[in-house]
Structure 1
């Protein structure tokens, strides 16, 4: 893979996302209050973009109840991450966090020196060393590709548009009585833009996420050259998600999610592609996981949160 080309595309998409966010805020400001409101919205948007990307990841980890892992708790885990990070050429060693939940999950988040990988207790207990190496290599590939910055921008766009949508619903409730009474109303174009902006931002976020999962799988294969390790981890995670869905819908009736509304590609398709991503004649590494690490037993699923990182 041409990493420079991948970084260029990510930078281009980040610029386009920022431009789209600012243009949306400018359009809403102009429709609601003219030029002065437009400038106010632009200034507020720039301040938001400068501050939010650095504040969101730590807030996310605190909301989820993630706890920092130490080398004493998982010496082999740290050695595994150190080896993969060194092999990938990362400038900064990612921080490691554990998520006290039995759900099989892992994700990367953060920017610059503050990048981190969070692994659930359920995943640490369910995977062997080979499978865990595949998962970690996948997350490290997201960090290496600088995917996180793009998706943080996309997620901030999504959060902003959902906030605007709530404001649009409030304006709609105010506007309808005024319209019925033939009074002066607020611009309908601004209200419609506020109401439908989240739909476009969500579709954009989903499309960006799905493509980057395939790229991260490719990056993981370049780091481990072990398609079966990652494939086995993906199967276990898929089985875990199936069990969670069966608990939520015990009667077997559950809604089918269209492929274009999924944040991740189909697991079967990802597994099918893996063997074709490996270079021949490369010996496999021996990965050992920590046994009996002093991690508290998980009590239940993590709290709901807004997506600002990459889940495997």
Structure 2
């Protein structure tokens, strides 16, 4: 199957999942506030799609204490990023940032006109230049495809749905004496739908995230002309970052069902990429045996504990 068929299927899945997400939010608004609530949810989603806070990218980079990578620090890395951005028809190459974290990670922020890609210290020290090129292409594909805006909208709609559910629960608690006294009646079916709507929205958001990851993989293979490079990077990242259960119980991996993950299973992503080996460019990007080591020292800091786990 060619990458074009993969891409069209992923676009269709993205559209369906996004419509499902909007539908769930509109339903939650209607159950809570009637028809006005439905239009309120749709209008809020439209506003979120059109307006993006300019400070969002800067705040994310600041959270990870990311530092700009200058051209003279990593000329080869910048050359690869510019060539990939040119192939993706971006108006400008993303700015490159160095995140002083031992975790093997990379992420993109911004939009097509102005974007940035942060690469962690762990990623730069673990992957080869060929594999880093695949990761850069994956993040540039997210930028070129508008995934950052789509996933931002999905997250906003999911949070809005959760807010409707919380308001409904608070109103139910306030009206509980009247319900027990028999003064008012509660539509149990509507109450149940309102209660489960945040979970349905979350499942749709996770499904949308997995589809966009597949689409970014396919676009990255087209940009680099080297799907095996990204496949190798994904396999290496999986080996480095596997959970402690995977070490204690080989083969256990991620025990949760695939539909509860933000990213598809690595095995499936690698398999799809390797199936595209004969449908890419002759001139591959990133196959040079180059390496980048940042000209900055990661700060010595201990992991910080939060209720959700440790942050480095």
- Fold match (TM-score > 0.5): yes
Size of the alignment, in residue pairs?
A: 300
Aligned counterpart, 2:288: 286
The residue correspondences of 1:120-269 to structure 2 (distance < 5 A) are: 120-184=120-184, 191-242=191-242, 245-246=243-244, 256-269=255-268
Aligned counterpart, 2:298: 296
Structure 2 SS opposite 1:277: coil
The answer on whether the counterparts of 2:66 and 2:98 sit within 8 Å (CA) in structure 1 is yes
Q: Distance in 2 between matches of 1:216 and 1:39?
A: 33
1:20 aligns with 2:23: yes
TM, length-normalised to structure 2: 0.77
Greater helix proportion = 1
1:71 aligns with 2:64: no
Aligned counterpart, 1:91: 91
1:30 aligns with 2:33: yes
Q: Distance in 2 between matches of 1:278 and 1:255?
A: 27
Q: 1:109 to 1:189 in 2, by over 3 A?
A: farther
Aligned counterpart, 1:309: none
Q: Distance in 1 between matches of 2:14 and 2:254?
A: 36
User: CA offsets, 1:44-67, max 9 Å, x none?
Assistant: 555455445655444433344434
The answer on whether the counterparts of 1:139 and 1:216 sit within 8 Å (CA) in structure 2 is yes
Q: Choose 156-165 or 77-86, whichever is displaced more.
A: 156-165
Shift of 1:21: 6.9
Q: Distance in 1 between matches of 2:192 and 2:307?
A: 27
Q: Distance in 1 between matches of 2:101 and 2:299?
A: 8
Shift of 1:102: 1.0
Q: 1:45 to 1:304 in 2, by over 3 A?
A: farther
Q: 1:51 to 1:111 in 2, by over 3 A?
A: same
Q: 1:277 to 1:72 in 2, by over 3 A?
A: same
Shift of 1:147: 2.4
Q: 1:159 to 1:61 in 2, by over 3 A?
A: farther
User: CA offsets, 1:132-169, max 9 Å, x none?
Assistant: 01111111122222222222211111222233333333
Q: 1:50 to 1:119 in 2, by over 3 A?
A: same
Q: Distance in 1 between matches of 2:175 and 2:246?
A: 40
Q: Distance in 1 between matches of 2:169 and 2:32?
A: 16
Aligned counterpart, 2:276: 277
Structure 2 SS opposite 1:205: helix
Q: 1:5 to 1:43 in 2, by over 3 A?
A: closer
Structure 2 SS opposite 1:118: strand
Q: 1:55 to 1:305 in 2, by over 3 A?
A: farther
Q: Choose 129-138 or 92-101, whichever is displaced more.
A: 92-101
Q: Distance in 2 between matches of 1:265 and 1:178?
A: 48
The residue correspondences of 1:45-60 to structure 2 (distance < 5 A) are: 46-52=46-52, 56-60=56-60
Q: Which runs of 5+ in 2 are unaligned?
A: none
The answer on whether the counterparts of 1:100 and 1:298 sit within 8 Å (CA) in structure 2 is no
Structure 2 SS opposite 1:71: coil
Q: Distance in 2 between matches of 1:291 and 1:28?
A: 55
